[in-house]
A and B are shown apart, each in its own frame.
Chain A
Amino acid sequence: KAGVTQTPRYLIKTRGQQVTLSCSPISGHRSVSWYQQTPGQGLQFLFEYFSETQRNKGNFPGRFSGRQFSNSRSEMNVSTLELGDSALYLCASSLVRTGAYEQYFGPGTRLTVT
């Protein structure tokens, strides 16, 4: 079974631009969560989607948004990029939304904002 895939793997953008990252969960998984990882803040939760609805959101500004499609694939968007948005963005999928199930992470998208 294929794992979580994220595209693109690497991205370089200029301050002020916007970016869209894509995540394809493991087949059959319906929950998708997004995380940001930086050297200073570590791994921080961005948001979670289940059945095309955002179920939870972390403490990030409104420039960060996401959505989930009917096939469970998810995208996240960051508008008006700032230098501080440079990070590794990770997507994780889970079969369902319970603590009894684990999350499986993708390899991440490395975003560099110049």
Chain B
Amino acid sequence: DAKTTQPNSMESNEEEPVHLPCNHSTISGTDYIHWYRQLPSQGPEYVIHGLTSNVNNRMASLAIAEDRKSSTLILHRATLRDAAVYYCILRPHGSSNTGKLIFGQGTTLQVKP
């Protein structure tokens, strides 16, 4: 299973952009990059995912390096509600392991008012 590396924790000020990095040097050509977050006392929540191109949705943007060995989740204006643990996960496409998400320790994001 391909692994990801994230910083244990990050801090941000409210209403400022946040860039959460993720390294995945052993990514294979068919692995999708998924991001989930888990707010306190809740189940994980899907944020965004992509394969090769940068992606935007209402929650965040995902910037993927050209060699796909790293990616960055961008929260354009952090709010207090964005304080959570953010997980970067590789999900294989068309593999027997595709239903199996491997969660690392994630990045705990603290947002200061």
Contacts and interface: CB of A to CB of B under 8 A. Distances in A.
Contact of A55 (B32, B96, B104): B96
What's the interface size class on B, roughly? 20 to 34
Dominant SS among interface residues on chain B: loop
Given A99-B32, A100-B32, A102-B49, A55 B99 contact: yes
B44 A90 contact: yes
Contacts, number: 70
B78 to A, nearest CB: 22
A105 B100 contact: no
Given A90-B43, A104-B46, A107-B43, A98 B103 contact: no
Dominant SS among interface residues on chain A: strand
5 A-B pairs with least C-beta separation: A48-B99, A99-B93, A99-B32, A105-B43, A43-B103
Nearest to B44: A105
Contact of B46 (A55, A90, A102): A102
B54 interface: no
What's the interface size class on A, roughly? 20 to 34
B92 A33 contact: no
A45 B46 contact: no
Interface of B: 30-32, 34, 36, 42-46, 49, 51, 87, 91-105
A25 interface: no
Nearest to A32: B99
Contacts of A98: 93-94, 98
A58 interface: yes
Contact of B102 (A45, A50, A92): A45
B6 to A, nearest CB: 12
A58 B93 CA distance: 18
B101 A103 contact: yes
A106 interface: yes
A28 interface: no
